Amino acid sequence: MKESILVAEDEVKIARLLEIELEFEGYSVTKAIDGPHALDLYRSSSWDLIILDIMLPGISGIEVLRRIRSKDKQTPVLLLTAKSSVEDKVSGLDLGANDYITKPFQIEELLARIRAALRVRAEAEKAEGNDRFTIANLKLNEKTREVIRGNRQIELTPREFDLLVYLLSNKRQVLNREQILEAVWGYDFLGDTNVVDVYIRYLRKKIDMPDMPPLIHTIRGVGYVLKETK
């Protein structure tokens, strides 16, 4: 299966060059033309790596990176920009970028950095195993979108799936409604935080089966936590 790369770059010629070169190297490439488009594509699928231009219109690449890292610490992100100041580099790296490449760049160097970032991720995933998306007898496969508890397969809506991914990524940690809302619904969601309670209820009906110990727990006055029952 081809590794998928999201390229967020508003300069048409550069975006096309990256698409051609990366597809020639065997990657599957999807392009975004601005910040909102990049976030929409990021939320609609899973990615092996993201190439992110800092100077994106609509929402800056730095803000896009901040929103990605608020819920996803794993996906490698390479920043691409014409800016070369130390401050820009530090800002991006502090927000969780894996690497930083300044325009103009040599495509060979970019490809090498992509391979390095993907190699680091693969090694981390191998060391971590499937534990990230497993708790008790509940298992989730992010790529196939399969959810199994015990020997039963569970069907989830896309939003329920995203919510469970976030809970599993932060298992045994108490999460308040605002954290969950921003991570699952997005920073610019305009609805009420009660939507979190509604979807937690939906998820509980499917995950917390009558003959098995509950995994989703309410922390009164705070929020929710996914953990095993002692």
Residues with Cβ within 8 Å of residue 199, at least 6 apart in sequence? 159, 160, 163, 184
Together in a domain, 48 and 121: yes
Together in a domain, 123 and 191: no
Together in a domain, 217 and 140: yes
The residue out of 76, 96, 128 marking a domain boundary is 128
| Cα–Cα dist 166/160, whole Å | 10
Can you give the pLDDT at residue 200? 96
H or E element in which residue 230 lies: none
Residue 73's domain spans which residues? 4-128
Structure tokens at 175: 């999460």
| Cα–Cα dist 34/46, whole Å | 18
- What CATH number does the domain containing 181 carry? 1.10.10.10
| Cα–Cα dist 62/64, whole Å | 5
Together in a domain, 101 and 190: no
User: What residues are paired with 176 via a beta bridge?
Assistant: 223
Together in a domain, 142 and 51: no
- What CATH number does the domain containing 24 carry? 3.40.50.2300
> Which residues of the chain are modeled with pLDDT < 50?
none
Can you give the pLDDT at residue 187? 62
Together in a domain, 45 and 145: no
The residue out of 91, 106, 128 marking a domain boundary is 128
Can you give the pLDDT at residue 151? 81
Together in a domain, 177 and 117: no
Can you give the pLDDT at residue 131? 61
Can you give the pLDDT at residue 161? 93
Residues with Cβ within 8 Å of residue 139, at least 6 apart in sequence? 130, 133, 146, 147, 148, 149
Together in a domain, 13 and 65: yes
Residue 155 has a CB neighbour count (10 Å cut-off) of 10
Taking Cα atoms as reference points, which of 203, 132, 135, 130 lies closest to residue 163? 203
101: left (phi over 0), alpha (psi -120 to 50) or beta: beta
Together in a domain, 152 and 170: yes
Together in a domain, 108 and 181: no
The residue out of 74, 94, 128 marking a domain boundary is 128
User: What residues are paired with 141 via a beta bridge?
Assistant: 146
The pTM of the full predicted model, rounded to 2 decimals, is: 0.59
Residue 28 carries which DSSP code?
E
Together in a domain, 77 and 152: no
User: What residues are paired with 136 via a beta bridge?
Assistant: none
Total count of domains within the chain: 2
Can you give the pLDDT at residue 186? 79
Together in a domain, 121 and 182: no
Taking Cα atoms as reference points, which of 228, 223, 129 lies closest to residue 176? 223
Can you give the pLDDT at residue 121? 80
Given a contact cutoff of 8 angstroms between Cβ atoms, the answer to whether 118 and 75 are in contact is: no
